[in-house]
Chain A
């Protein structure tokens, strides 16, 4: 069974500092990995994805994520945080091999990022 772990309920960062939001996953075979962001009173917005290729994936709003197969991790990073980055961040995984059971995208519980001045 697929699973995603986001070990931190909340991450606090000062504006201008680098940020990391952690994600580890478990899936049969090779994974598709995603990060979504949810701003208050909004739905989820796609940030970035990893399918194949470079382990460092660049996405929207200056975010990037590093795929580490040996550690089964896909941590979200940004070199310099902004107050406007404060939101709820979700990591998600799906097996690359499509078994026919819809697009079984499994989400983590979310990590709240709080960026302060």
Chain B
């Protein structure tokens, strides 16, 4: 275990549904990240939070909405997704924006039907 926990592990949702992915870390890290992992593609960095403030948004569609209520929790709110959004969504954390390596959660396998 890396200390980063993601729930749920698997999620199937329709295109009109609204759901949320949750990430939790108790490592005392100040930076948290959402990545999208699709087959045969590099990991795509979606969002970065530092001290609960969003510092990066890599041209992610607005149907993905992140939320970081405190430095230990990160959410990814999903609504009106498309089938091509089906992927493994990975959360990661690091000591701060400079500190590496990042520690990853086990991911949420999302299927949009």
A-B interface pairs (CB < 8 A), number: 66
B6 surroundings in chain A (CB, below 8 A): 43
Asked whether, in the complex, the Cβ of B106 is within 8 Å of the Cβ of A43, the reply is: yes
Question: CA separation between A32 and B102, bound complex, in Å?
Answer: 13
A49 surroundings in chain B (CB, below 8 A): 100-101
Asked whether, in the complex, the Cβ of A94 is within 8 Å of the Cβ of B42, the reply is: no
Within A73-110, the residues touching B (CB, 8 Å) are 90, 94, 98, 100-110
Number of interface residues of A (CB under 8 A): 26
Asked whether, in the complex, the Cβ of A43 is within 8 Å of the Cβ of B101, the reply is: no
B103 surroundings in chain A (CB, below 8 A): 46
Asked whether, in the complex, the Cβ of A103 is within 8 Å of the Cβ of B102, the reply is: yes
Number of interface residues of B (CB under 8 A): 30
Q: Determine whether A14 belongs to the interface, using a CB cutoff of 8 Å to chain B.
A: no
Q: A36-B104, A49-B100 are in contact. Are A43 and B2 (CB under 8 A)?
A: yes
Asked whether, in the complex, the Cβ of A108 is within 8 Å of the Cβ of B42, the reply is: yes
Q: Looking across the interface, which residue of chain A has its beta carbon closest to that of B49?
A: A102
Asked whether, in the complex, the Cβ of B106 is within 8 Å of the Cβ of A41, the reply is: yes
Within B12-44, the residues touching A (CB, 8 Å) are 31, 33, 40-43
Question: CA separation between A104 and B41, bound complex, in Å?
Answer: 17
Question: CA separation between A34 and B40, bound complex, in Å?
Answer: 19
Asked whether, in the complex, the Cβ of A101 is within 8 Å of the Cβ of B56, the reply is: yes
Question: CA separation between A32 and B41, bound complex, in Å?
Answer: 21
4 additional contacts, CB 8 Å, given A42-B106, A90-B43, A109-B40? A43-B105, A46-B101, A105-B45, A105-B102
Q: Which B residues lie at the A interface, using CB under 8 A?
A: 2, 4, 6, 9, 31, 33, 40-43, 45, 48, 50, 55-56, 90, 92, 94, 97-107, 109
Q: Which A residues lie at the B interface, using CB under 8 A?
A: 4, 9, 32, 34, 36, 41-46, 49, 90, 94, 98, 100-110
